[in-house]
């Protein structure tokens, strides 16, 4: 299957650190390598004679915020000692994360619409989505996601956040709902100030299960990515303007001058393959650029 990956560095938001949670982990791209906190991943390492420095091996953990609103299928996920509990699922996920880090895991994927909890399922009647069908965010899902992303940041783990999964995307009302959901999720990530997050707009975007053209590589996928890039740039500009207004208020100059400025970098990608990591052969688009290099 052809590997399509467009990566957009959406920009830097400079805001007073006291207005945001201090972040510890930064993922970035230099040339064809991933860097975590300024250092290449797997620095100097090879495997079977092949250089692996700069790659980003990751574990598929897409069900970390899973829930099921279908009463007919919810019982499938019951625990041996009790009914299904999405909060317990997330707590146990977070409790396991230090062990993953200790064993050397640098990244994991998590999806706002999960995946198939039964593997390759012919039908997927369960209802698992961080979005309402009209594209609005569900606070319960985003609360669980925030806890996971915060812990990953503390541990130095990169999180690859997927927006759409084909079996659940089909439940969205229309393309406007899909765009509304993508906008809302992007805004949420930027507003939280995460610097250790990569975004996969659609998992296996060329899967025939996707319904809406705006997600398909042969349809509007690039247009959706450009939309998110421009939206992010606008949001960054608003944050900067707000920061400047704060700096001109009486009594605020000392606080700002004495604070360090934090940077927010969010990377948006769309994958059309069974492999989330598509390096080193990717196109890199920087916010404001019209050229594509790679």
Domain positions in the chain are 5-286
- Return d(Cα 182, Cα 190) in angstroms, integer: 12
pLDDT at 230: 85
Mind listing the pLDDT tens digit for each residue in 177-227? 999 999 999 999 999 989 999 989 998 888 888 999 999 998 889 999 888
pLDDT at 235: 78
What confidence tier does 268 reach under pLDDT thresholds 50, 70, 90? low
pLDDT at 126: 96
pLDDT at 238: 77
pLDDT at 278: 36
- Return d(Cα 140, Cα 280) in angstroms, integer: 36
**Average pLDDT score over residue span 32-51:** 97
| CATH number belonging to the domain at 5-286, selected among 3.60.21, 3.30.390, 3.20.20, 3.30.70 | 3.20.20
**CB burial class (10 A; 0-12, 13-18, 19+) of residue 293?**
exposed
Cβ distance 136 to 188 under 8 Å?
Answer: no
Residue 3 pLDDT > 80: no
Backbone angles phi, psi at 262, to 5 degrees: -105, 150
Spell out the residues 6+ positions from residue 144 whose beta carbon is closer than 8 angstroms to its own.
64, 65, 86, 87, 90
pLDDT at 69: 97
**Average pLDDT score over residue span 53-70:** 97
pLDDT at 277: 39
**Helices (H), ranges, the chain:** 86-102, 139-155, 166-169, 175-192, 221-247, 253-257
Backbone angles phi, psi at 107, to 5 degrees: -155, 150
What confidence tier does 125 reach under pLDDT thresholds 50, 70, 90? very high
């Amino acid at each position: 299957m052809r590997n399509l990956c467009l990566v957009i560095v959406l920009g830097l938001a400079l805001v007073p650190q006291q207005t945001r949670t201090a972040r510890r982990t930064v993922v970035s791209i230099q040339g064809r390598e991933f860097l975590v906190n300024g250092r290449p991943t797997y620095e100097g390492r090879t495997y079977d004679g092949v250089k692996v420095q700069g790659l980003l091996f990751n574990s598929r953990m897409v069900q970390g915020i899973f829930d099921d609103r279908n009463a007919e299928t919810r019982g499938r996920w019951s625990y041996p000692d009790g009914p299904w509990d999405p909060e317990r699922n997330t707590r146990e996920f977070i409790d396991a994360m230090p062990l993953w880090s200790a064993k050397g895991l640098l990244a994991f994927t998590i999806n706002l619409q999960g995946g198939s909890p039964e593997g390759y399922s012919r039908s997927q009647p369960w209802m698992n989505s961080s979005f309402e069908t009209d594209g609005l965010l569900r606070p319960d899902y985003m609360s669980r996601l925030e806890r996971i992303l915060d812990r990953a940041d503390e541990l130095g783990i990169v999180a690859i956040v997927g927006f759409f999964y084909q079996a659940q995307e089909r439940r969205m009302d229309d393309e406007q709902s899909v765009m509304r959901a993508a906008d809302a999720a992007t805004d949420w990530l930027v507003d939280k100030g995460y610097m250790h997050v990569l975004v996969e707009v659609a998992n296996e975007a060329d899967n025939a299960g996707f319904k809406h053209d705006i997600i398909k590589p042969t349809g509007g996928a690039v247009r959706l990515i450009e939309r998110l890039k421009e939206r992010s740039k606008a949001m960054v500009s608003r944050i900067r303007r707000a920061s400047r207004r704060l700096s001109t208020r009486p009594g605020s100059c000392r606080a700002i001058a004495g604070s360090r400025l934090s940077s927010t970098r969010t990377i948006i990608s769309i994958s059309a393959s069974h492999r989330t990591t598509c390096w080193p052969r990717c196109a890199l688009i920087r916010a404001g650029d019209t050229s594509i290099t790679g």
